[in-house]
Amino acid sequence: MGLRLSLYLGFLVSTLLVRLLWDLRFAPSWLYAALVLLVVGLGLWTMRGSPALVWVGGLVTLAGLGVGYFNAVASLIALAGLFISYHGWRNHLSEKDQAAFWGWVFVWPALALLVFWQVLPAFYAVWLSLLDRFNFLGPSRFAGLGNYEILLRDPLFWKAMGNTFWFVAFTVPIGIGLAALIAILLNERVRFQGLFRTLYFLPYITALTAAAAVWDWIYNPEFGFLNYLLGTQGLDWLNRPEGIFSLLLAPLGFQLQGFFAGPSLAFVAIMVMTIWHFLGYQIVVLLAGLQNIPREYYEAAELDGASWWQQQWLITWPLLSPATFFLFTLGLIGAFQVFTQVLILTPTGGVLQDTLTVTLYLYNKGFRDSDFSYASAIAVVVFGVILILTLIQQRVLERRVNYET
Amino acid sequence: MRRSSPLGRFLIYLVLTVGAVVMAFPFYWMLATSLKSPQEAQQARPIWIPERLKASNWRVAWSLGAEAGSSWWGGFGPQQSVTLKLYAPPGPVPQVMVPSPPGAFSDPRSEQTRVQVSYQGDHWAIRFTNPSSEHFRTLPAVILISKEYPSYTPELPPDAIRSSGDDWRLEYVNVAPGLLGYIFHNYLEAWYAAPFARYFFNSFFTAGLQVLGGLFLAVLAAFALARIPFPGKSWVFGLILATLMIPGEVLLIPNYVLLARLEWIDTYYALIVPWLASVFGIFLLRQFYLSLPQDLFDAARIDGASYWTQMFRIALPLSIPGLITYGIFTFLGAYNALLWPLIVTNSPEMRTVQLGLQVFIGEAGSDYGALMAASTVSILPIILGYFIAQKQFIQGVARSGIK
């Protein structure tokens, strides 16, 4: 009975979802009709030998589905019928069957929203990426893998991917390293720990838009504070497309080109700002990890004559690995989502698109060039890349993570 | 106990302090710039304490404001007059005029203002009179004073001093500022230049509903997943787990298309509904409910409590810390978001604070004072919230990292 009830409930909700999709021209009307027939069949099977009230509810549900054929919102009447039926069943249902009913009733609202706004759209993105220039301006036709073909030869896409690579390579180790240093020092039972923690944490809860506006002002070529501090009057940090490695190594006579020239100075400026923004979060996570390490370990090490540095390297660092692993994963995924600070600091994507990131490129393609298909192709490729990276990371790195303390 | 030498302690504090200064500096810089006049902001050598923060100027601003109508917020009332003193030895008569707006943002100002300049013992008294029956928010003024003067001291320091031929050009953004109007001039400029009140309403309304709706949905689902045995539970949980893998940027385009077909673009629905159900919230709360002892629920069941009662009377009160964590995170995410509001809204009435700020950045140009003022205001609610619920913020972040 519990299973039948769950199926009845599940198909009823699915039917209503399909009704909505039909309204939005995503599902054909016959699918709704077919599902209604299925629900009716399931209903008859479930309600066999039930009290009269159950059947009344069933009729209301049927009426709701019928009216729903003409009006999507009215189809919700069917849900009222369901609860009437349950009222009739209530005293005849076993504990287990009641659990089946209420479990699904509780789960369905969130589940329906997740399916409608996350699961189906993910598949829809794949479908869109197979079309030719889908947008609201005109009809589009099936283009197969055409978008992906163009994408793989698109220098701007590779520029964005390269920037993402540099973003991970710079911000993740530097961020985690700095955060570990600060967290370990904060954990040394310092005074004003709360004050320090607040000061380090505030940038993280500050909106990136406002934070980027401030950094834009700090980076200002004429009146910026950074140029005053470094004595580099007039240096326009955010408009310098030269790679950082080529800038650093040029005095030594090395000439680096392309990818190996490293991220542009402008992108480095953006990364510095991002590290500043994210550091507080990393510190708090690492601090929580540190406080989980039992003090006895250090006491034992102390007795064995281990120095402070040895204690940090041999006890703290390995036992902190779950937290650092988590931060690494987060940094990796987050690098593909960098958008706000780039848009504020370099609204056009920088000189020669040198600060282009994947999400900014996706935004430009989708919402400035109105090419939803190409933008979807970017999204799908990014999805794939993230998936592969996460898998590799779990296979290779997670083995070295020390979960037991 | 770990040993710690005095030198070691010193180094620890040194590193922590230097780091904290670097972290806090942008905030100081934002705040300081927001209180500066444009000329103060645009100095090659930074000015650490703006004129607008000096108490001696406050007194003058207060009395000037009081003369013109309001000692707190200033403004140039109808039929009012205000006198600015310019201490100087006798010399050529300074020229005074009410200019067209100097900043990026224009505001109606008194065109017919009468100006009388007279010498009174040791100073020039510059008297502005508003003959109209209108109230003006600001009274900008420009004073041209000959370079022949060996020295001169205006009562209120001008917002900019420029060289103009044989004269010094003293520019005031507001001669009738009032105390708060003087200190927070840039804030008022920003506030009047863009509908920030509307932006704040939009942000709080959409973020608040997202939190409330999201909490309700997450509590329901998490409770069922943790505490109710129903067929297909593992299947549902697997689906939710899989949803976790979908990165946000994949959903931008398809969700935009969905919203367009629902005709929800540029509505509050677009800002709220797509992110209502949160996998993060469901996970977090499920974890909470799993950690509660089963006996509690068994006892309630024996007493005849329905699942509904169990959830609201037992599980919900016990999971308040988790709810607060989730609420803070959702609110932060919604309030600080830029990309999504940028995509799904078009009209100024639907902008959130962050989107409004982004547009403002484009409009403000080089008026960094107003821009920093707007930035400060935009982060203020979150900073205040942090100081009120500091523990929950920190614990929430720490908790998100451990599991």
Q: Where exactly are the structural domains of chain B?
A: 6-34, 54-177, 196-402
**Residue B379 contacts A, CB cutoff 8 Å:** yes
Contacts of A163 (CB under 8 A, 6+ apart): A263, A267, A354, A355, A356, A357
CA–CA dist B94, B119 (Å, integer): 10
Give the per-residue pLDDT at B1. Answer: 41
Cβ atoms A86, A99 nearer than 8 A = no
CB atoms within 10 A of CB A266: 26
**Residue A228 contacts B, CB cutoff 8 Å:** yes
Q: Above pLDDT 90, what percent of chain B?
A: 56
Give the per-residue pLDDT at B185. Answer: 92
**Residue B315 contacts A, CB cutoff 8 Å:** no
CA–CA dist A319, A314 (Å, integer): 9
pLDDT at position B403 over 50: no
Query: What is the strand order of the sheet B141-146 is part of?
Result: B95-97, B141-146, B167-172, B160-164
Mean pLDDT of chain B: 89
Give the per-residue pLDDT at A352. Answer: 85
Give the per-residue pLDDT at B216. Answer: 94
CA–CA dist A64, A340 (Å, integer): 46
Provide the token pair at B393.
């913020």
For range B26-31, the mean pLDDT:
96
B302 — pLDDT class (breaks 50, 70, 90)? confident
For range B377-392, the mean pLDDT:
93
- What is the distance in angstroms between the Cα of A143 and the nearest Cα belonging to chain B? 18
Window 149-188 of B: residues touching A by CB (8 A cutoff) are none
Cβ contact A96–B253 (<8 Å) = no
Strand, coil or helix: A215:
helix
CA–CA dist B23, B18 (Å, integer): 9
Nearest to A366 among B41, B252, B279 (CB): B252
**Residue A287 contacts B, CB cutoff 8 Å:** yes
Give the per-residue pLDDT at B4. Answer: 66
Query: What is the strand order of the sheet B123-129 is part of?
Result: B114-120, B123-129, B81-87, B153-154
Write the pLDDT tens digit of every residue in B10-28. 999 999 999 999 999 999 9
Give the per-residue pLDDT at B3. Answer: 55
For range B350-369, the mean pLDDT:
92
For range B43-62, the mean pLDDT:
90
CB atoms within 10 A of CB A243: 24
pLDDT at position B101 over 70: no
Nearest to B26 among A103, A201, A215 (CB): A215
Cβ atoms A291, A187 nearer than 8 A = yes
For range B241-270, the mean pLDDT:
93
Sequence-ordered alpha helix ranges (H) in B102-184: 179-183
Give the per-residue pLDDT at A135. Answer: 80
Q: Domain spans of chain A?
A: 2-129, 152-400
Q: Which residues of chain A have pLDDT under 50?
A: 405
For range B179-206, the mean pLDDT:
94
Contacts of B35 (CB under 8 A, 6+ apart): B50, B52, B53, B183, B184, B186, B369
Give the per-residue pLDDT at A120. Answer: 94
Write the pLDDT tens digit of every residue in B259-272. 999 999 999 999 99
CB atoms within 10 A of CB B144: 17
pLDDT at position B205 over 50: yes
Q: Which residues of A touch B342 (CB under 8 A)?
A: 363
Nearest to A128 among B225, B254, B332 (CB): B254
- What is the distance in angstroms between the Cα of B54 and the nearest Cα belonging to chain A? 22
Which whole-number Å values give the CA distances from A275 to A103, A108, A237, in the listed order? 43, 40, 17
Q: Which residues of A touch B362 (CB under 8 A)?
A: 347
For range B152-180, the mean pLDDT:
90
**Residue A372 contacts B, CB cutoff 8 Å:** yes
**Residue B304 contacts A, CB cutoff 8 Å:** no
Nearest to A117 among B3, B23, B255 (CB): B255
**Residue B46 contacts A, CB cutoff 8 Å:** yes
Nearest to B277 among A110, A289, A375 (CB): A110
Cβ contact A202–B24 (<8 Å) = yes
Assess if CATH 1.10.599.10 describes domain B196-402: no
Cβ contact A285–B400 (<8 Å) = yes
Which residue, among A27, A233, A181, A2, has the nearest Cα to A96 in the 3D structure?
A2
- Give the H or E element holding residue A393: helix A372-396
For A152-400, CATH number? Answer: 1.10.3720.10
pLDDT at position B102 over 80: no
* Number of residues in chain A: 405
pLDDT at position B38 over 70: yes
Considering only A365-369, B181-185, B216-220, B297-301, which range has the smallest mean pLDDT? Answer: B297-301
